[in-house]
Amino acid sequence: MRERIRKILVTGGCGFIGSAFVRIATSKGYRVVVIDKLTYAGDLARLKGVSPKYKFYKTDICDKAKVEKIFVVEKPSIVINFAAETHVDRSILDSGIFLESNLMGSQALLDIINKYEIRKFIQISTDEVYGEIIRGRFLESSPLRPNSPYAASKAAADLLISSYMRTYGFPALIVRPCNNYGPWQYPEKLIPLSILKIIKGDKIPLYGDGKNVRQWLYVDDCARGIVELMEKGSIGEIYNLSGAEELKNIEVLKIILRILNCSDSLIQFVKDRPGHDKRYSLNSQKISKLGFKPRVSFRKGIENTVNWCLEHKTWLLSKWKDIAPLYK
Ligand SMILES: NC(=O)c1ccc[n+]([C@@H]2O[C@H](COP(=O)([O-])OP(=O)(O)OC[C@H]3O[C@@H](n4cnc5c(N)ncnc54)[C@H](O)[C@@H]3O)[C@@H](O)[C@H]2O)c1
């Protein structure tokens, strides 16, 4: 099986989750070709130390001519699309690039791949496409009710892919992970932003009353889940991918503050994000039935993440200039 699917084209492989996937896939013997535009969120440093089994092309997935050339030269049998603009706050300020990369970029990939033969296309979607849920958990069959421009751009791509599956028999599957955290996450997202703020000696901004609930999944578990779906997932299916652990944002911050021996008084409540979803929660029994289970508890994962951030202060601080305008 692995022999036949040995070459994987990974878009967005210099991002947070994509790079974790590249590390795990290459360590399992797969050959990986990475396409990444290297936006402010992409960083080749994330792939330092990865075995020479990966190859890199600095390319925008919206550039059909360039992507097709790579496709023809590399002849991958699997394509995994991680490439996206991913920060909800930025999508609220300007949704244009979100539609370009997340929807039109996916469309470009679909049209190129549709001309050739591959075994599987995996779209990395998000739990945010379902919108919020106050009680219970979303199933893969739940309706899409995205509330932010980011979530709408991801939901639009999911719908387009479903239409290609039905119309052309396109061999895709869609994965919807919950909130990820772990080493190398760009520090505009809640957990690394809070750690960076503590390192800088600043207050930590927390939206609204801090009671918004998210499920948390350690990034290596997410990447392992995607490898599992690459190997065993069925074409035409959608898979939720989450850890069981749900926490309010304020609880997450208090855990980080405890680990760093800091006082809760560092938390500064700020005006809520417009349209802020109260709670996301996924039912992930479908992927569990394939034998997948997250291995890293939130307690262990958050300690690893805090320690990693302390060891990579320079990297975190180097990103501050791109994040600061969001927190004026
Ligand atoms: N981080 C999470 O908690 C989370 C949760 C659920 C789903 N997701 C999804 O997982 C995927 C990866 O998320 P992440 O957190 O690693 O994101 P990220 O922002 O860390 O990385 C995104 C990567 O995509 C690249 N990219 C962006 N636009 C591109 C384009 N047009 N062409 C080529 N490359 C481009 C960037 O340079 C970057 O390397 C995304 O599709 C996201 O929607 C993320």
* Residue 158 designated active-site: no
Checking if the pLDDT of 255 tops 70, the result is yes
Question: Given this model, what pLDDT does residue 238 score?
Answer: 98
Question: Given this model, what pLDDT does residue 170 score?
Answer: 98
Catalytic choice (150, 164, 181, 218):
150
Stated as kind and residue range, the H or E segment containing 145 is none
pLDDT digit string, tens, across residues 278-314: 999 999 999 999 999 999 999 999 999 999 999 999 9
Beta bridge mates, 207? 270
C-alpha 234: how far from chain center: 21
CATH architecture entry for 184-214+245-280+296-320: Alpha-Beta Complex (3.90)
CB 183 within 8 A of CB 305: yes
Inter-CA distances, 1 with 59, 81, 237, Å? 29, 21, 20
- Please write down the long-range contacts of 21-27, taking CB distance under 8 Å and 24 or more positions apart: 21/80, 21/82, 21/223, 21/226, 21/227, 22/47, 22/50, 22/54, 23/47, 23/50, 23/223, 24/220, 24/223, 24/224, 24/227, 25/223, 25/227, 25/230, 26/50, 26/51, 26/53, 26/54, 27/51
C-alpha 32: how far from chain center: 18
CB 10 within 8 A of CB 124: no
Domains 7-180+218-241 and 184-214+245-280+296-320 alike in fold = no
| Residue 242 Cβ contacting ligand 1 at under 6 Å | no
Residue of the CA atom closest to atom 18 of ligand 1 = 15
Q: Which CATH superfamily is domain 7-180+218-241 in?
A: NAD(P)-binding Rossmann-like Domain (3.40.50.720)
Go through 247-274 and write b for each residue having 16 or more CB atoms within 10 A of its CB, e for each that does not.
bebbebbbbbbebeeeeeebbeeeeeee
pLDDT digit string, tens, across residues 78-106: 999 999 999 999 999 999 999 999 999 99
Question: Given this model, what pLDDT does residue 3 score?
Answer: 47
In the block, which residue shows the tokens 């023809």?
A: 72
* Residue 150 designated active-site: yes
pLDDT digit string, tens, across residues 97-133: 999 999 999 999 999 999 999 999 999 999 999 999 9
Q: Which conformational region is residue 236 in: left (phi greater than 0), alpha (psi within -120 to 50 degrees), or beta?
A: left
Please give the average per-residue pLDDT across 28-39, as a whole number: 96
| Residue 15 Cβ contacting ligand 1 at under 6 Å | yes
Per-residue confidence band for 52, with pLDDT thresholds at 50, 70 and 90? confident
Give the integer Cα–Cα distance in Å for 134 and 172: 30
Question: Given this model, what pLDDT does residue 119 score?
Answer: 94
Checking if the pLDDT of 4 tops 80, the result is no
pLDDT digit string, tens, across residues 150-194: 999 999 999 999 999 999 999 999 999 999 999 999 999 999 999
Give the integer Cα–Cα distance in Å for 81 and 89: 22
| Residue 179 Cβ contacting ligand 1 at under 6 Å | yes
Per-residue confidence band for 264, with pLDDT thresholds at 50, 70 and 90? very high
Average pLDDT score over the chain: 96
> From the alpha carbon of 20, which atom of ligand 1 is closest?
16
Checking if the pLDDT of 324 tops 70, the result is yes
Q: Which residues, 6 or more positions from 268, have their beta carbon under 8 angstroms from its beta carbon?
A: 203, 204, 205, 206
Checking if the pLDDT of 196 tops 50, the result is yes
Question: Given this model, what pLDDT does residue 6 score?
Answer: 79
* Residue 127 designated active-site: yes
| Residue 107 Cβ contacting ligand 1 at under 6 Å | no
Task: Parse the chain into domains and list their residue ranges.
Answer: 7-180+218-241, 184-214+245-280+296-320
CB 294 within 8 A of CB 173: no
Q: Which conformational region is residue 267 in: left (phi greater than 0), alpha (psi within -120 to 50 degrees), or beta?
A: beta
Angle CA 217–242–43, to nearest 5: 45
Question: Given this model, what pLDDT does residue 51 score?
Answer: 75
Catalytic choice (43, 85, 128, 221):
128
Checking if the pLDDT of 210 tops 60, the result is yes
53 vs 35 pLDDT, higher one: 35
Question: Given this model, what pLDDT does residue 158 score?
Answer: 98
Ordered DSSP codes for 200-262: HTPPEEEETTS--EEEEEEHHHHHHHHHHHHHHPPTT-EEEE--S-EEEHHHHHHHHHHHTT-
Give the integer Cα–Cα distance in Å for 204 and 266: 6
User: How many A from CA of 262 to the centre of ligand 1?
Assistant: 31
Question: Given this model, what pLDDT does residue 53 score?
Answer: 76
Stated as kind and residue range, the H or E segment containing 269 is strand 267-270
- Residue 138 main-chain phi, psi, to 5 deg: -75, 135
Per-residue confidence band for 327, with pLDDT thresholds at 50, 70 and 90? confident
Checking if the pLDDT of 243 tops 60, the result is yes
